[in-house]
């Protein structure tokens, strides 16, 4: 029977697996509904062309703002029915660019307004709320700075408001720079899963779906009736759309209306975006779920889907729990083959993972599905690597930690050869990278554990997640830049680049040293205990005294001659000198047995005593094994390793602060 600590780890592992499976199966449930159901709503006929205001919330977006305003002012719609409001909270030269654009289009007869409120209170939600005070049109369209609405957008989207109960319509996001890198490709596929599976299934089934913050249109009456834009969460779009649907408003997703946008190309920007979405969803769950659950007019299936959507980011902490627990459990006697056989375990992972996703991709993309499916392995690695970043976000949301709305910077990247590294808004890595590095090293150690424990079937599972942490952490470091403007290359900025390169090399070296040290430590300290445990298991199965004697000798040779791994409150059960003494007694006993006749009672008594001793010693070794990981030497080496990483981060942060000071005075 497992000791209480091991049982606790096993229970956490299984519970996490069950919950992850539940969320995964819900995704497949929505995928099936998407494939089987036809859209429940269609466009109608409007009696007259409604008036429309286009809100463009902007904050420091000098590389994409011109493109956005040009596209909006080219919309095919009567000028007397269209009002454009650029909601500018910028504090850089974006404001001057917008002022010039507004003046230009005003002269051309476009009703466009440059709104400056003099504060960033409430961030994007605050800007939208402020704009609603002077918005009196029937409908409100919203576009973030990185979107490029086509000229036909309003003509094709507005007819869906012929139904008076429609509160908002959401269009599908397109990706103008999908082929820029592997990072943009996996983002594009992840977003396509969201829109073409989750959003489509919910829209077709009239379940609660969310407005995605941009590329959509709201009925102004719906915004007002739902209470307007709130700044209490980081996802004002999700918050308002759920409050509107709780009030009885309906919504539609339009998969055939694709609005192109620019995907973030810098890993640190992507992590910031993912952090905001994950934390905001948890904030909305805390804010809205209780009300959703007690409203009688909301159906059970709708309540279930709302719960899943608002809480789905808890999958990321669960992934980390499994990742941490698996190497520990591989060193125990607990059977991790849930279906009985290794082959069945792998089959289950394939069926519920890659195979099922390939089927979803085939339904999503039609004839181009095979090419898209090639991106799937990278998507799995990317998603696994985001677990640390999004787990921090989940805990921030759960514990109510305050944080500002940090927008995702864009650089006007459209072609594969476009460069972003020398532009403004580049983001350095954050402290989250330190955690990701820890999980990289832990994962490498876990792979060694699986190999030495002869449980190779679990190596790919650990390896995929380890590769994910390495992928995200590596790009976070490689994409970090300290200087915000390539046109201001000073001696200080060049020195910062050199410091960064040396620091990056130091971090890589420390990771490699840590991995090698873990490998050697496991091979010399832990693996011999695993071997001896295996030899003792053979003794328990063995009926031949000669073979039993050989396994006893192998056990003696494998175990340390003396010492006790339990350095805090040691016990005699884990004292290797006493264990060796017991093995010596077993060896003497087996020699006596070998001299006895097989029909003699002494023969059977001796073999029974040897088996009993083997069972007891094996349990003692099982109890001692976890303490081999936390020996005084390992703790000291771990502290030195961690201190070296922290020192490098401190140097980089100090250099970053110095550069920001220089930039501020430039």
pLDDT score of 129 more than 70: yes
How many CB atoms within 10 Å of residue 294?
9
Among the options 88, 204, 237, 575, which is catalytic? 237
Q: Which two tokens stand for residue 120?
A: 């960033």
pLDDT score of 299 more than 90: yes
Name which of 158-162, 271-275, 624-628 the model is least confident about: 624-628
Give the pLDDT band (50/70/90) at residue 653.
low
pLDDT score of 483 more than 50: no
Mean pLDDT, the chain, rounded, equals 87
Per the model's pLDDT, the better-predicted residue between 171 and 527 turns out to be 171
b/e per residue, 111-127, with b = 16+ CB within 10 A? ebebbebeeeebbbbbb
d(CA 310, CA 304): 10
Per the model's pLDDT, the better-predicted residue between 455 and 70 turns out to be 70
259 touches 183 (CB < 8 A): no
Give the pLDDT band (50/70/90) at residue 598.
confident
7 touches 309 (CB < 8 A): no
d(CA 400, CA 387): 20
pLDDT score of 450 more than 60: yes
H/E element, 121: none
Among the options 88, 89, 146, 396, which is catalytic? 89
Position 43 scores a pLDDT of 73
- In the block, which residue shows the tokens 């791994």? 565
Position 484 scores a pLDDT of 47
Name the burial class of residue 342, with classes exposed (0-12), middle (13-18) and buried (19+) by CB atoms within 10 angstroms of its CB.
middle
d(CA 617, CA 583): 8
d(CA 663, CA 666): 5
pLDDT in tens, 600-637: 888 889 899 999 999 999 888 887 877 777 677 777 77
Give the pLDDT band (50/70/90) at residue 124.
very high
Query: What's the 3-state SS for 88-107?
Result: ECCCCCHHHHHHHHHHHHHH
pLDDT score of 506 more than 60: yes
Strands 52-58 and 139-142: parallel
pLDDT in tens, 566-588: 777 777 888 899 999 999 999 99
- Which of 86-100, 500-514, 604-618 has the highest average model confidence (pLDDT)? 86-100
Per the model's pLDDT, the better-predicted residue between 249 and 480 turns out to be 249
Query: What's the 3-state SS for 122-149?
Result: CHHHHHHHHHHCCCCCCEEEECCCCEEC
Helix, strand, coil share (%) of the chain residues, nearest 5? 65, 10, 30
The pTM of the full predicted model, rounded to 2 decimals, is 0.81
Q: Supply φ then ψ for residue 534, to 5 degrees.
A: -65, -40
Position 522 scores a pLDDT of 78
pLDDT in tens, 389-406: 999 999 999 998 888 888
Give the pLDDT band (50/70/90) at residue 486.
very low
Give the pLDDT band (50/70/90) at residue 511.
confident
Closest residue by Cα to residue 240 from 196, 209, 197:
209
Give the pLDDT band (50/70/90) at residue 494.
low
d(CA 85, CA 117): 12
CB-facing half-sphere around the CA of 505: CA atoms within 13 A? 6
Spatial CB neighbours of 393, under 8 Å, sequence gap ≥ 6: 274, 275, 276, 278, 279, 282, 313
d(CA 632, CA 635): 5
d(CA 63, CA 564): 64
Position 240 scores a pLDDT of 97
Closest residue by Cα to residue 487 from 410, 413, 423:
423
Q: What angle do CA 368, 372, 375 make, to 5 degrees?
A: 170
H/E element, 628: helix 601-629
pLDDT score of 660 more than 60: no
Give the pLDDT band (50/70/90) at residue 337.
low
Percent of the chain at pLDDT above 70? 89
Give the pLDDT band (50/70/90) at residue 233.
very high
b/e per residue, 598-625, with b = 16+ CB within 10 A? eeeeebeebbebbbebbeebbbbbbbbb
645 touches 434 (CB < 8 A): yes
d(CA 150, CA 160): 18
Give the pLDDT band (50/70/90) at residue 298.
very high
Q: Quick check: is 89 catalytic?
A: yes
pLDDT in tens, 215-227: 999 999 999 999 9
User: Residue 563: left if φ>0, alpha if ψ -120 to 50, beta else—which one?
Assistant: left
Give the pLDDT band (50/70/90) at residue 488.
very low
Longest pairwise C-alpha distance within the chain: 113
pLDDT score of 239 more than 80: yes
Average pLDDT for 626-654: 73
H/E element, 358: helix 356-365
Give the pLDDT band (50/70/90) at residue 427.
confident
Per the model's pLDDT, the better-predicted residue between 354 and 583 turns out to be 583
d(CA 30, CA 41): 18
Four-residue CA torsion sign, 119, 121, 124, 128:
negative
464 touches 350 (CB < 8 A): no
168 touches 158 (CB < 8 A): no
What Å distances lie between residue 570 and 4, 576, 625, 632, CA to CA? Answer: 18, 11, 13, 13
**Range list of H helices, 386-486:** 387-398, 432-452, 459-478
Query: What single-letter DSSP state applies at residue 82?
Result: E
Q: Quick check: is 80 catalytic?
A: no
Per the model's pLDDT, the better-predicted residue between 350 and 218 turns out to be 218
Name which of 82-96, 128-142, 262-276, 453-467 the model is least confident about: 453-467
Percent of the chain at pLDDT above 90? 57
478 touches 504 (CB < 8 A): yes
- Which of 310-314, 473-477, 543-547 has the highest average model confidence (pLDDT)? 310-314
Position 663 scores a pLDDT of 47
């Amino acid at each position: 029977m497992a000791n209480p600590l091991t049982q606790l780890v096993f229970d956490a592992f299984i519970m996490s697996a069950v919950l992850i499976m539940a969320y995964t199966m819900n995704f497949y449930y929505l995928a099936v509904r998407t494939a089987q159901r036809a859209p429940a709503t269609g466009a109608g006929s409007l009696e007259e062309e409604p008036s429309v205001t286009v809100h463009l919330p902007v904050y420091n977006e000098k590389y994409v703002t011109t493109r956005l305003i040009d596209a909006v002012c080219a919309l095919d719609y009567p000028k007397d029915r269209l009002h454009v409001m650029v909601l500018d909270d910028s504090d850089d030269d974006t404001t001057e660019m917008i002022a010039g654009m507004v003046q230009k289009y005003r002269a051309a007869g476009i009703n466009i307004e440059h709104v400056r409120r003099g504060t960033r209170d409430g961030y994007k939600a605050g800007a939208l709320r402020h704009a609603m005070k002077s918005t009196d049109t029937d409908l409100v369209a919203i576009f973030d700075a990185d979107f490029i609405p086509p000229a036909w957008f309003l003509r094709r989207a507005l007819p869906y408001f012929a139904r008076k109960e429609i509160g908002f319509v959401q269009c599908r996001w397109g990706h103008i720079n999908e082929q820029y890198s592997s990072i943009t490709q996996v983002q594009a596929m992840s977003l396509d899963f969201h829109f073409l599976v989750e959003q489509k299934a919910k829209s077709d089934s009239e379940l609660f779906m969310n407005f995605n913050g941009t590329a959509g249109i709201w009925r102004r009456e719906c915004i007002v009736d739902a209470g307007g834009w709130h700044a209490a969460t980081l996802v004002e779009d999700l918050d308002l759309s759920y409050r509107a649907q709780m009030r009885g408003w309906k919504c539609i997703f339009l998969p055939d209306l694709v609005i192109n946008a620019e995907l973030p190309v810098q890993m640190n920007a992507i992590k910031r975006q993912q952090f905001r979405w994950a934390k905001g969803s948890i904030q909305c769950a805390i804010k809205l779920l209780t009300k959703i659950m007690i409203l009688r007019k909301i159906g059970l299936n709708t309540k279930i889907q709302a719960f899943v959507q608002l809480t789905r980011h808890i999958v990321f902490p669960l992934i980390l729990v499994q990742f941490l627990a698996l190497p520990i459990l591989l060193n125990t006697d607990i059977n991790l083959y849930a279906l009985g056989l290794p082959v069945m375990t792998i089959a289950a992972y394939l069926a519920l993972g890659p195979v099922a996703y390939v089927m979803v991709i085939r339904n999503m993309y039609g004839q181009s599905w095979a090419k898209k499916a090639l991106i799937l392995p990278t998507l799995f690695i990317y998603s696994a690597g985001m677990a640390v970043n999004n787990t921090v976000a989940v805990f921030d949301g759960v514990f109510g930690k305050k944080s500002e709305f940090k927008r995702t910077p864009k650089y006007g990247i459209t072609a594969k050869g476009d460069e972003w590294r020398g532009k403004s808004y580049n983001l350095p890595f954050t402290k989250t990278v330190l955690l990701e590095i820890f999980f990289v090293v832990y994962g490498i150690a876990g792979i060694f554990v699986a190999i030495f424990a002869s449980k190779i079937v679990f190596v790919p599972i650990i390896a995929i997640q380890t590769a994910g942490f390495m992928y995200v952490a590596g790009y976070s470091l490689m994409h970090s830049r300290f200087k915000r403007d390539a046109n201001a290359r000073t001696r200080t900025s060049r020195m910062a680049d050199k410091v960064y390169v040396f620091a990056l090399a130091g971090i890589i070296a420390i990771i490699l040293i840590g991995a090698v040290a873990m490998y050697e430590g496991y091979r010399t300290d832990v693996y011999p205990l695993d071997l001896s445990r295996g030899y003792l298991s053979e003794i328990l199965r063995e009926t031949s005294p000669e073979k039993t004697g050989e396994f006893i000798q192998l056990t003696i040779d494998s175990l340390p001659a003396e010492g006790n791994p339990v350095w805090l409150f040691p016990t005699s059960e884990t004292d290797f000198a006493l264990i060796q003494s017991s093995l010596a007694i077993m060896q003497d006993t087996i020699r006596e047995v070998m001299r006895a006749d097989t029909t003699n009672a002494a023969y059977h008594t001796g073999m029974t005593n040897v088996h009993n001793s083997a069972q007891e010693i094996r349990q003692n070794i099982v109890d001692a094994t976890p303490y081999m990981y936390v020996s005084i030497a390992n703790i000291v080496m771990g502290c030195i390793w961690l201190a070296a990483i922290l020192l490098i981060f401190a140097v980089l942060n100090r250099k970053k602060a110095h550069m920001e000071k220089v930039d501020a005075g430039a």
